[in-house]
């Protein structure tokens, strides 16, 4: 990512409704104590830190391998298919990435030229191609993304089942906020 980091004190304050919404026009926090508000702000700061760390890891992996985001997503998918002993095809990759067949062809051309994949005839469908990730690239992806995932798995496994359910519920609810229409929700509450 870029070398410019915002002042963390200001960035943290921007998550505090007392700073960004002092008249409570959007956030009703009147029934909460200062300690509860501070704790909620800490939750939001932790979410932001996670998002920034995830973006940095993805950026570093792409930079180390000299790939774009879609290229890395394609390689992660090919690793998963290889680990499941599933033959990968351009159509499967296009469907997974949500891109056109023309874009998939360009992507595969880039990955082949860079030595990340090999294309060969499909063993059972003469009209299709089979895509295989090269062993060297498989090991690179495994080393960068795989080790990180293993550490994340360990962190989640250290939690109690009840804690994991709380985190799941929170993250699912947080994800829902990305697709909600605040105007519709406000109108529904007023009506």
| Predicted confidence (pLDDT) per residue in 42-65, tens digit | 999 999 988 888 888 777 766 676
**Residue count of the chain:** 191
d(Cα 191, Cα 188) in Å, to the nearest integer?
A: 5
Task: Say if pTM beats, i.e. exceeds, 0.85.
Answer: no
Does residue 46 lie within any of the structural domains? yes
Do both 43 and 21 map to the same domain? yes
CATH label of the domain that carries residue 89: 1.10.10.10
* Residue where a domain terminates, one of 31, 65, 99: 65
**Phi, psi at residue 95, to the nearest 5°?**
-65, -45
| Predicted confidence (pLDDT) per residue in 56-90, tens digit | 877 776 667 678 889 988 998 999 999 899 999 99
* Residue where a domain terminates, one of 134, 154, 179: 134
Spans of the chain, pLDDT less than 70: 1-8, 61-63, 65, 180-191
Do both 53 and 73 map to the same domain? no
Helices and strands (H, E) in the chain, number of each type: 10, 2
Predicted pLDDT at 6? 57
d(Cα 39, Cα 127) in Å, to the nearest integer?
A: 58
Predicted pLDDT at 190? 56
Predicted pLDDT at 2? 46
Does residue 55 lie within any of the structural domains? yes
Q: Which residues, listed in sequence order, are joined to residue 133 by a DSSP beta bridge? A: 117
Does residue 161 lie within any of the structural domains? no
Report helix angle 69-83 to 101-113, nearest 10. 80
Residue 74: enclosing H or E segment and its boundaries?
helix 69-83
Residue 49: enclosing H or E segment and its boundaries?
helix 34-65
Do both 95 and 60 map to the same domain? no
Does residue 181 lie within any of the structural domains? no
Does residue 141 lie within any of the structural domains? no
Does residue 128 lie within any of the structural domains? yes
Give residue 57's domain range.
1-65
Predicted pLDDT at 182? 59
**Phi, psi at residue 121, to the nearest 5°?**
-60, 145
Token pair, residue 158, equals 């250290």
Does residue 182 lie within any of the structural domains? no
Do both 52 and 73 map to the same domain? no
Strand residue runs (E) in 106-178: 117-121, 129-133
Domain count, the chain: 2
Does residue 184 lie within any of the structural domains? no
Predicted pLDDT at 185? 56
Which of 167, 188, 180, 190 has the alpha carbon at shortest distance from 43?
167
Predicted pLDDT at 3? 46
Sign (positive or negative) of CA dihedral 142, 143, 145, 150: positive
């Amino acid at each position: 990512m870029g070398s410019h980091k915002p002042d963390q004190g200001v960035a943290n304050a921007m998550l505090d409704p007392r700073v960004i919404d002092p008249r409570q026009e959007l956030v009703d926090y009147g029934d909460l104590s200062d300690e509860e508000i501070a704790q909620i702000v800490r939750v939001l700061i932790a979410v932001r830190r996670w998002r920034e760390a995830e973006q940095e890891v993805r950026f570093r992996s792409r930079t180390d391998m000299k790939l774009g985001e879609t290229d890395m997503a394609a390689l992660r998918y090919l690793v998963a298919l290889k680990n499941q002993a599933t033959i990968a095809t351009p159509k499967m990759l296009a469907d997974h990435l949500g891109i056109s067949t023309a874009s998939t062809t360009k992507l595969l051309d880039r990955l082949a030229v860079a030595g990340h994949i090999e294309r060969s005839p499909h063993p059972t469908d003469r009209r299709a191609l089979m895509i295989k990730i090269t062993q060297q690239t498989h090991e690179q992806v495994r080393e960068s993304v795989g080790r990180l995932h293993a550490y994340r798995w360990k962190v989640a496994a250290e939690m109690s089942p009840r804690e994991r359910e709380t985190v799941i519920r929170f993250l699912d609810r947080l994800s829902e906020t990305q697709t909600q229409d605040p105007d519709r929700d406000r109108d529904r509450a007023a009506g």
